[in-house]
Structures are given as C-alpha cells and as structure tokens.
Structure 1
Amino acid sequence: MARKFAPILKMAAGHHGGRANALEMSQNTHAVADLSKVSADRLLSVMTRCVFNAGFNWKVIEAKWDGFEAAFEGFDPGKLAFFGEEMLDRLVSDERIVRNGQKIKATLENAKLVADIEAKEGGFGHFLASWPADDQLGLMTELHKRGSRLGGATGAYFLRFAGWDAWIASSHVCAALVREGVLDKPQATSKRDLTALQTAINDYHDGSGLPRAQISRLLAMSVG
C-alpha cells in the first residue's frame, strides 16, 4: 500500500500557519521550466558553487562569487577541460576565489565531465532533464562516479539548485521519515536507507501530485 502524504502535510501546516502557507513556503524556488535549455556553463557554475559550499560558510562563497566567475572563465566547460592542467597553478594562487587546491582541481575535473556529456549525450542539461524523476539516487550515483567531490549531500544540492526536482536527505527530513517508519535512524547514508527514502518520496509524490523537492521540504517542516 502506498504511503499517504496528507497527514504529513497536515503536520507541516500545523507548524507553519496553515495548509496554504505551508505549501507556499515549501515551493522549490530553484525549479526551472525546462532544464534541458539551461546552458552547460551555468550548470557547471552551480555545481562548482555546491562543491565549494561543502564545509565552508556559504556566505563567504557568495561574497566571492563574481571572482569565481571571472577566474574560472565563466565556467565554460570546454575551455576549462582543455586548459585545466595549465590553469591549476594559476587558480590556486588567485585571490579572487577561495584557494582550496582540492576543490579547484575537482572543478577542473568536473568541467571534463560536463564537456564530455555535452559532446556525447546531447547536452548536459538534456542529460539531467532526461534522467527519470523517480531515480534521483541513480543520477547521484552517476555524478559521483563520473565527477569529483559530488558524493553525499553535494550531489543532491547540485541537482536541487540546478533546477532538478530533487529531495535532500537533511536531518529534519530523515527525522520525519523515522517518525513515519521509513528509516531506523535520523541519517540516510547507506544505499539501503537512501533507497527507502527515495521509495517513500516517490510514493508521496504519486499520491499527492506534489513535486519531490516540495515533498522533501514539507517533510522537514512537519518536524517543527
């Protein structure tokens, strides 16, 4: 039997000023009408921002972002993939960006990933848009395998911020799913836990018609 989402929405509404307000607050503001039309450089920019945000104060990255755009040549994946090795030494000493060598190297490696998909699979945006919406875990696994530093929450945040209808396995989402009997503990790190989380969110989507990103946010809001 498919899981019912109405009780969870009711709890979120109780914590956040009623049903209409909860639905408005939980909307995915990063959603785009057609992800296949988003250019590869903008997607690589979002990806890089998520990689640098991991473990850093997001406000620091945001304050320097114009410098990142300039230093990384507007995140043109073809240019970065081709000149990456030559650019690495310059970038690690570039004061316009956060000079973390591992993350700079990851960006150049991810440029190769994006450029390769752009050339071989009809565009990176098309690749993302064409991936089945009920298989986020499969897409995250693919990005982690082919890219650099895109595992864990970073891959999920990239998908969400790029405009894909992505859930986030945050502590509040996991706590809600423990309450609902989906998870045994308030973390989802194993493949088994993530598969259970994805199955539940797919069930909630099928029953409610709400986007998966919004369901994820409403689950978090249902905690308090």
Structure 2
Amino acid sequence: MRSFEEILTIAAERKGGADKVLAGVMPYKTAGELASIPDDRWLAMMARGIFQAGISWTVVEAKWPGIEEAFAGFDVGRLSMMDDGWLDALLVDTRVIRSGAKIAAIRDNAVFIRRVNEAEGGFARKVADWPAGDFAGLLDWLTTTGSRLGGNTGAYMLRQMGKEGYLLSKDVVARLVAEGVIGGPPTSRKAMAAVQAAFDRWRTESGQSLNTISRVLAQSIG
C-alpha cells in the first residue's frame, strides 16, 4: 500500500500539480456547527439523495422548490406522522418525483430522526460526535437504521451537510483496489473495515482529513 504522499504525487502528475488536486477538497464543519443544523435540513438532504438515485440530478434540482413545498419544508414531526392519505396525494402531485418507495422512505427517515432525537439526545448531535475513525460505522448505522441510505446515498448526504468523511466513488474504489486494500466494491462490513483502516493509516501519516484523502485517491485515477 502506497503512502499518502506517493498517491498525492500520482494525482499531481495526472492533474498538473498538487495545488489543483487539493483545490477541489470540500470543507467540513466543526462538531458544534453540525450539531446546530436543524432536523428539517438533515431530512431534506436525505430526501435529495434518495430522489437523485437512478435519475437525473438536474431533474431533481429543477423540481426542488416544489418538493420542499409538497413535503412541508421537511418538518420531521409532520412527516413522521404521514398517513396513507398524504402519501397517496404525493403520488399524484406533479411537484414531486412520484415514486411510492422513495416517498415512503422519506417518511420513514422522518421517523428515524425523531426516534434518535427522543432516545439519544438529538440526531444532529449524534452525527456530529461520531468519530472520523469510525466513519464506516456511521455509514453502516445510516444503512441499517435509516431507509434507502445505503450505497453512496448516506455518504453523499453527510458530505453535503459538512461531516468529515469519504465518498467511495468508482475512482476511489479503483485506487483502493490498486493498493490491495479491497478486491472490489466494498459491500461487506469486513471490506468496509479494511477501507476504514486504510483511511486511518493515511490520515495518521499525513495529518489530512478524510475529505482530502478521498479527493486525492479519486484524482489519482479519474
């Protein structure tokens, strides 16, 4: 397994300099900043990722103001109590993407957030306090406890909200395979543990964030 600096050198040679590689790193928020984000914004970003899965992101972006309106601004309390009548109305509402499974998943994630708030002192606080050294565990929690937050949907949501982490894009996975970390897309907990261990090693030796390491790995391939 190459060092972070060696992989950064590969990326820099491909992209015309390390500064160009690092310029695209997305910033991340402090724990305090994350914890202050209201529940409706967490649910809204979950919904955006769920709606974007399998269709044009441009379509979702164009419809987003109407989606926000149709889903009551993603008010967690209201959506967690969505009855069949409201769900049926959304299925024929031209403002939204009319997928019953996706609409139901948004309702289920409202319930998910509400339950975490009630049982664990706040959804945003729990995500904010989750250590970077167990980012794989956070993704697993979202996948197994939330609805339709597996694959890169949960990771994309966290990245957009400002949580430090990595995105297992095709290019990042290709670099991890090239380094012998995994043999293919990491679909098991064992494979994700290997991914986390590799990121932890690169993070320790470089002092860089998971966001930066993820970016460098991707740019070394794509």
TM-score normalised by length of structure 1: 0.92
TM-align CA RMSD: 1.6
Instruction: Check if 1:129 corresponds to 2:128.
Output: yes
Which one of 20, 26, 30 corresponds to residue 28 of structure 1? 26
Unaligned runs of 5+ in 1: none
Report the TM-score, using the length of structure 2 for normalisation: 0.93
- 1:54-93 aligned at under 5 Å gives the runs 54-93=53-92
Q: Structure 2 unaligned runs (5+)? A: none
Deviation digits for residues 84-106 of structure 1 (CA, Å, limit 9, x no counterpart): 44421111111101101100011
Q: Give runs of ≥4 in structure 1 deviating > 4 Å.
A: none
Encode CA deviations 1:129-180: one digit per residue, 9 max, x unaligned.
0112111221122122221111222122122122111211111111111221
1:212 and 2:210 aligned: yes
Q: Could you list the per-position Cα deviations for residues 17-43 of structure 1 after superposition, in whole angstroms to 9, with x for gaps in the alignment? A: 211221112x115x2342111111001
**C-alpha displacement of 1:182:** 1.2
Q: In structure 1, what residue type is equivalent to 2:191?
A: D
Q: How many residues align?
A: 220
3-state SS of paired residue (1:168)? coil
Given that residues 29 and 164 in structure 2 are in contact (C-alpha distance below 8 angstroms), is that contact kept between their aligned partners in structure 1?
A: no
Task: Deviation per CA, 1:54-100: give whole Å up to 9, x if none.
Answer: 11111111110001100000001011112344421111111101101
Is this contact kept in 1: 2:174–2:221, CA < 8 A? yes
Partner of 1:221: 219
What corresponds to 2:160 in structure 1?
A: 161
Partner of 1:94: 93
Equivalent position of 1:192 in the other structure: 190
Match of 1:179 in 2: 178
Partner of 1:15: 14
Shift of 1:192: 2.1
8 Å CA contact retained: 1:3, 1:204: no
- Secondary structure of 1:220's counterpart equals helix
Give distance in 2, aligned partners of 1:15 and 1:137.
29
For 1:84 and 1:73, how far apart are their aligned partners in 2?
Answer: 14
- For residues 101 and 123 of structure 2, the distance between their equivalents in structure 1, rounded to whole angstroms, comes to 24
- Whole-Å Cα distance in 1 between the matches of residues 121 and 16 of structure 2? 45
